[in-house]
């Protein structure tokens, strides 16, 4: 059943760089939404493959923009967002797929409760489209910042933002970041506003070998620390309220250091990092135990969903 509201439009941001392999499936999943008041802001970051032809084969609801020059992903996303007209902003990468009720569920939730941000659960798929696992969110709607400090669970493809929050608070994707500019932006919003959380599965998120996140994983501890520093130093932030959770979040940086080291094949360094936090959580102790077993680095990373 189509859900339509003339007063509420969602702008779906699609940033594309040589992503024609799964592109039609991704765009079709937007056109198949139960909610039909949307526009696609398609930002072509100077692709040299067939992406432009695929995008231009659709109707005027897909607004195609060709970048003047190739930019980093954060800058490209900001440029695309600047073209959006919708009350809400959603995101879909060219490898991924919206489930049919994604926009309807979130637009209804955000209209009803006035949330600044909404996110939900995701089905993880492989390159063939076969399901690998399901990631169900744990937090409940409201103040989710503490929970996200302990366990960040926002899959970007599930996110929807109230556009006025970005404008009024001058928030955007940090263009100095390569690994997780979405983490900083979403955590900034969560530190200031109530957030809507849906346990419903909203997207299929595809794991593709050689993706940007895999190539830049060594930046994770650096950029997460930078994000935490930026958020905790903001004048609007109440550091006393979240002192304990922030302390744990900073200690978790050693975990990200260990993952980065293991992804490079440096198990000795990974063990050194985990030794720093080995008794902080049973989970960290378990990882340290795994690192001392005759298991391949790749197998351990797979167990850790990395």
Boundary residue ending a domain (209, 229, 258): 209
Q: What span, in angstroms and rounded, lies between the C-alpha atoms of 16 and 67?
A: 10
Question: Region 39-62: what's the mean pLDDT?
Answer: 97
On average, the pLDDT of the chain sits at 93
Task: Inform me whether the pLDDT recorded for 95 exceeds 50.
Answer: yes
Flag the least confident range among 3-12, 46-55, 86-95, 183-192. 3-12
Say how many residues make up the chain. Answer: 306
% of the chain exceeding 90 in pLDDT: 84
Question: Total domain count for the chain?
Answer: 2
pLDDT band for position 214 (50/70/90)? Answer: low
Task: Inform me whether the pLDDT recorded for 231 exceeds 70.
Answer: yes
Q: Are residues 194 and 241 in the same domain?
A: no
Q: What span, in angstroms and rounded, lies between the C-alpha atoms of 121 and 154?
A: 8
Q: What is the CA radius of gyration of the chain?
A: 20
pLDDT (0 to 100) of residue 213: 57
Query: What contacts 212, CB < 8 A, 6 or more positions away?
Result: 73, 178
Question: Region 183-202: what's the mean pLDDT?
Answer: 96
Within a domain: 3:
no
Boundary residue ending a domain (209, 240, 258): 209
pLDDT digits (tens, 9 = 90+) for 235-273: 777 777 888 899 999 999 999 999 999 999 999 999 999
Within a domain: 2:
no
pLDDT digits (tens, 9 = 90+) for 157-175: 999 999 999 999 999 999 9
pLDDT (0 to 100) of residue 286: 95
Domain of 263 in residue numbering reads as 218-303
Q: Are residues 194 and 117 in the same domain?
A: yes
Question: Region 190-201: what's the mean pLDDT?
Answer: 96
Boundary residue ending a domain (209, 226, 256): 209
Q: What is the pTM of this model?
A: 0.92
Per DSSP, 227 falls in state H
Q: Are residues 53 and 196 in the same domain?
A: yes
Residue with the bigger pLDDT between 217 and 127: it is 127
Q: Are residues 115 and 46 in the same domain?
A: yes
Task: Inform me whether the pLDDT recorded for 2 exceeds 50.
Answer: no
Question: Region 96-112: what's the mean pLDDT?
Answer: 97
Within a domain: 262:
yes
Q: Are residues 168 and 127 in the same domain?
A: yes
Which of 37, 34, 35, 43 lies closest to 14, judged by CA? 43
Q: What span, in angstroms and rounded, lies between the C-alpha atoms of 121 and 31?
A: 21
| CA-to-CA separations, 176 to 81, 145, 227, in angstroms, rounded | 17, 23, 11
pLDDT (0 to 100) of residue 1: 43
Q: Are residues 285 and 183 in the same domain?
A: no
Q: Are residues 266 and 182 in the same domain?
A: no
Q: Are residues 196 and 233 in the same domain?
A: no
pLDDT (0 to 100) of residue 209: 76
Q: What span, in angstroms and rounded, lies between the C-alpha atoms of 161 and 184?
A: 14
């Amino acid at each position: 059943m189509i859900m339509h509201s003339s007063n509420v439009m969602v702008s779906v941001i699609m940033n594309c760089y040589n992503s024609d392999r799964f592109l039609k499936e991704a765009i079709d999943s937007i056109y198949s939404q139960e909610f039909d008041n949307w526009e696609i802001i398609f930002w072509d970051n100077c692709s040299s493959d067939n992406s432009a032809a695929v995008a231009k084969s659709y109707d005027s609801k897909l607004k195609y923009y060709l970048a003047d020059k190739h930019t980093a992903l954060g800058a490209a996303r900001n440029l695309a967002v600047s073209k959006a007209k919708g009350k809400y902003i959603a995101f879909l990468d060219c490898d991924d797929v919206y489930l049919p009720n994604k926009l309807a569920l979130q637009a209804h939730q955000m209209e009803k409760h006035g949330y600044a941000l909404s996110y939900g659960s995701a089905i993880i798929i492989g390159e063939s489209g076969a399901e690998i696992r399901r990631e169900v969110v744990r937090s409940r709607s409201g103040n989710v910042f503490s929970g996200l400090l302990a366990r960040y669970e926002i899959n970007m493809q599930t996110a929807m933002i109230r556009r006025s929050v970005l404008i009024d608070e001058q928030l955007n994707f940090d263009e100095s970041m390569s690994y997780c500019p979405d983490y900083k932006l979403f955590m900034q919003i969560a530190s200031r506003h109530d957030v809507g959380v849906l346990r419903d599965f909203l997207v299929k998120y595809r794991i593709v070998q050689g993706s940007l996140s895999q190539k830049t994983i060594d930046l994770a501890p650096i950029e997460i620390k930078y994000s935490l520093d930026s958020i905790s130093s903001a004048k609007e932030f109440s550091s006393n309220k979240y002192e304990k959770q922030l302390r744990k979040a900073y200690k978790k940086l050693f975990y990200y250091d260990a993952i980065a080291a293991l992804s490079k094949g440096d198990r000795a360094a990974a063990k050194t990092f985990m030794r720093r936090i080995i008794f902080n959580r049973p989970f960290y102790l378990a990882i340290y135990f795994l690192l001392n077993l005759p298991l391949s680095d790749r197998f351990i990373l797979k167990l850790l969903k990395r």
